[in-house]
A = this chain, B = another copy of it.
Amino acid sequence: MSDSHDFTRKLQKENGSKIVLVVGDGLGGLPLEPGGMTELETAKTPNLDALARRGTLGLSIPVLPGIAPGSGPGHLGLFGYDPIQYQIGRGVLEALGIDFELGPNDVAIRGNFCTIDASGNITDRRAGRIPTEVGTRLSEKLNQIKVPGAEVFVRAGEGYRTVLIFRGEGLKGDVADTDPQRTGVPAFDPVARSVGSAKTAQVAKEFLRQAKEVLKHDAPANFLTLRGIDTMPAIPPFREVYGMRAAAIAVYPMYRGLARLVGMDILDAGHTLEDQMNRLEAAWNDYDFFFVHWKYTDSSGEDGNFPLKVQRTEELDAAIPRITKLKPDVIVVTGDHSTPSKMKSHSWHPVPVLLSAETCRFDGSTKFGESQCLRGGLGQFQAKHLMLLAMAHAGRLEKYGA
C-alpha cells in the first residue's frame, strides 16, 4: 500500500452518496497586523459558519511544510494525487490553461515569440512584448505549418506567449528548452535528452525551420523559442481510483484542465458563480462528485487587495445555500493553497478546511477561519489525504482488514 489510491481502489464502494468539493482558490490568508484577522476571518460568512458548527475544521498542508504550491500541485493534492509523485510540466499546464484537450499522444510546449537579428542571434526574448492580438495572428500563421510525422497545433496565449502541441505516435516529452535565457546568441536547437524523445526533437527542429521562414517579415516577433516540452503525466483516472463519476464546474480554463487531467467530466460553467450553481443543480443526478472552483479569492489575494478578497469570500459564502439545498452527503470547502493579500502571492501556509457530513465529530467550531481551523478536529494533515476523509464521510470506503 504505497499510496492512498491503493486503499481507495480496494475499499471503494458505491452507495449513491454525493460529495461536493468547493475550492476557493488561494483561500488561506494572513492578518495584516500582529493579532489581527485574516481575510477569511474578516469576511461575514454566515453560511460557512453554519456548516462549521455542524462539521469539522482543520488545516491542510498542500505539499510539505514551507512549500508554496502552484495551482497544479495544489489541485492534484486536493484530488488525492500526491503532488510530489505526479508532476505537471509547464507546457502541459499552458495547454490546460487555454482549454486545449490534450491526448495521450500529445507533446505540449510553451512557445515565446522573440526577435532575432540577421545573423540569427536573439535580440529580444519577448519580442518587444507584442500585444495578444499580434500573438494571435502569428499563432494562426504558425498553425498552418505541416511537419512529417506529427500533427501540429499552435494556439495563442497572452501577449508574446503561445502554446504548441505536436500530436503523433512515439512522441516523448524529454527535449531540452531552446530558449538560451539570454540575448546575443541564437536559440538552441531542440535536443532530445533521452533516446525515446529523438522524434520529438526532430519534429520540433523541422517546425522551427519552417517557423523562421513563415515569420521572417514579422519582426519584432520573427521567431520563437520553445520551453517546458512535456507530455501528459500518467495519472490514474478519478473514476478508477475512487469509483465515482466526477464533474468539474470551473470558469477558468486552467482548472477545467486540471480536472480533465484526472479524468473528470468538464461541465459548461458559464461565467458567474450563479451560472456554476445552475450547472450544479442541473447535473446533480448525473454525478457522484462535484468539483466547484471559485477563482477570485486567489486573484484578489495576488493583487494584494485585502478588502476585495474579503468580499470575494463573502460572495462564495452566499452561494453555499444553493449547494446545501441539494443535500450532499459531504460538503468540503477549502483552498488549493493560501494566497495572503499581505504577500501578494501563493504561500506555504496551511489551508483552512471545512468538512460537513452526518458523521462529523464536533470540535466546537463556530466560525470558518484559520484560527478555528488550527484548533479543529481534522488537525493539520496532508492535502492528499482529504479525499480519503471525504469518501469515508460519504460512506464510500469499506473497512480495511478484517
Contacts and interface: CB of A to CB of B under 8 A. Distances in A.
Sorted nearest first, the 5 A-B pairs with minimum C-beta distance are A66-B388, A66-B392, A70-B401, A73-B401, A379-B380
A381 B66 CA distance: 11
Given A64-B388, A379-B379, A69 B361 contact: no
A381 B381 CA distance: 10
Most B-side CB within 10 Å, residue of A67, A346, A400: A400
Interface in A377-402: 377-381, 385, 387-393, 397, 399-402
B400 A68 contact: yes
Interface in A71-90: 71-73, 83-84, 87-88, 90
Nearest to A343: B359
A30 B361 contact: yes
A54 B387 CA distance: 34
Nearest to A71: B402
14 contacts: A4-B64, A31-B361, A31-B362, A35-B362, A64-B388, A65-B381, A65-B385, A67-B388, A68-B399, A83-B401, A93-B402, A347-B392, A348-B392, A374-B375
A66 B361 contact: no
Interface in A9-53: 11, 30-31, 34-36, 38, 53
B362 A349 contact: no
A229 interface: no
**Tally of this chain's copies:** 2
A49 B400 CA distance: 32
Contacts of A53: 34-35
A370 interface: yes
A65 B388 contact: yes
A153 interface: no
Given A30-B359, A374-B363, A375-B375, A345 B399 contact: yes
B7 A64 contact: yes
Most B-side CB within 10 Å, residue of A67, A350, A362: A67
Contacts of A31: 361-362
A128 interface: no
Contacts of A385: 64-66
Contacts of A72: 401-402
A66 B397 contact: yes
A393 B340 CA distance: 13
Interface string A237-275: 000000000000000000000000000000000000000
Contacts of A65: 378, 381, 385, 388-389, 392
B66 A399 contact: no
A401 B69 contact: yes
Contacts of A34: 53-54, 362
Most B-side CB within 10 Å, residue of A11, A34, A66, A377: A66
